[in-house]
A and B are shown apart, each in its own frame.
Chain A
């Protein structure tokens, strides 16, 4: 066990090329999925918080339910759409980082939207009357609420990034875990563990945990600073 851990630390210390490649691809796929998730999920969640239409409650429940969407189900759905006989098969995206980004985005969007809706709705209760008297349109209200809640919404982004980075089922199905092309940290950990190469698995696990911890520390620091700066 100790020798395996030392070997893992040695891989990290030597900036192993294979390891860096996997970490780089993981970050690229997850951060792109997070950006797409934020672009869609933030305004949609805020819009849902201020909108008033029949069936809104049903949509809220559905969105909350989608937060628990099994990643393998998303993987299968994206696989069917991108496979050669699927509607988007002609684009040849299956077993590519793009397919992994699509799958992860599908997992991240409902999560960010649902958390955003809850955060914005709590604020909206206090602002609705004044916004209404001022005569702001729904889109103007949404933009202002997103700006006002920007620091709280880092939690939504954090949840989305956590889901993307820790996801394994969907990216395994649509990415294929191809060495040097679609292999990310989670799929590599699963594969190397099954092969008995625990050193690489542990090294990747340490990187993954360190990254998530570093991101959380950064977000916590940002919120603490913002609380002092903006009240």
Chain B
């Protein structure tokens, strides 16, 4: 499945070009964060990788194959919640994998405990708070044992406490062996979580660097301008 090589990816709906010749190589470990201005195509890139959209041009190469041979899961910014119990909202995602009912129940209870929702297993998912919903969505994705987990701004509109809980779960998923690729607008979160940063601008990857180096010494003018705009207190960079 890894390395994932994205070559010349272009996505051009009628009247505009969003991604234009994007190249990227991803290894199979760690947390990669996609940063970039609004509308640059961060979520779009996740959807293209997930196979939910077809590119106008370019290709994804999954270690020499056209399709990933490992499981892939995605948590959306507004995750879907069925009008069923918290338990059922995780359990249904395991049905296509052919587990027995007992195996599904055991796996569901395990991940619910790991995201701190075991006590709420019987409650209706639609009645959870925003932070709990995101934890439930992460639990659903985690239960599928993905090799690649795609997260689209999983902490958008969450308070700091809920954000911290979600970040803890993301780290645990990484420790469990999944590669995590996520988008965020929260630069503080990027510094806390990211192993490497993928910076998008003008339809391409402008910079792909280890997180520490990216924030200390961004190489591309676009990344420097972005960080100066987003972090007004950081007015000079290490040379």
Contact = CB atoms under 8 A, between A and B. Distances in A.
Contact of B80 (A130, A135, A140, A229): A130
B79 interface: yes
Interface of B: 47, 50-52, 72-74, 76, 79-84, 92-93, 95-97, 124-127, 144
B80 A230 contact: no
Q: Which of B74, B81, B92, B93 has the most CB of A within 10 A?
A: B92
Contacts of A132: 52
A148 B82 contact: yes
A136 interface: yes
Main secondary structure of the interface of A (DSSP, over half): helix
A140 B98 CA distance: 12
Contact of B127 (A129, A130, A148, A231): A231
Given A127-B80, A134-B93, A229 B124 contact: yes
Given A133-B52, A148-B83, 20 more contacts: A126-B80, A133-B50, A133-B74, A134-B93, A135-B96, A135-B97, A140-B92, A140-B95, A144-B82, A144-B92, A147-B84, A148-B84, A149-B83, A150-B83, A229-B124, A230-B83, A230-B124, A231-B81, A231-B125, A231-B127
Nearest to A131: B80
13 contacts: A126-B80, A129-B76, A130-B74, A133-B74, A134-B92, A135-B97, A136-B95, A137-B96, A147-B82, A147-B84, A151-B83, A229-B124, A230-B127
Nearest to A136: B96
Given A144-B82, A148-B84, A231 B95 contact: no
B204 to A, nearest CB: 25
B52 A231 contact: no
A123 B124 CA distance: 18
Nearest to A127: B80
Interface residues of A, number: 20
A143 to B, nearest CB: 9
B124 A231 contact: yes
B234 to A, nearest CB: 37
Nearest to B92: A144
Given A140-B96, A144-B92, A130 B79 contact: yes
B221 to A, nearest CB: 35
A133 B46 CA distance: 12
B13 to A, nearest CB: 17
Given A147-B82, A231-B124, A133 B73 contact: yes
Contacts of B125: 231
Q: Which of B47, B51, B80, B97 has the most CB of A within 10 A?
A: B80
B80 A231 contact: no
A20 B179 CA distance: 69
B189 to A, nearest CB: 23
A229 B83 CA distance: 10
B84 to A, nearest CB: 6
Contacts of A230: 83, 124, 126-127
Contacts of B50: 133
Contacts of A150: 83
Interface string A122-165: 00001101101111110010001001111100000000000000
Given A126-B80, A144-B82, A134 B96 contact: yes
A135 B51 CA distance: 12
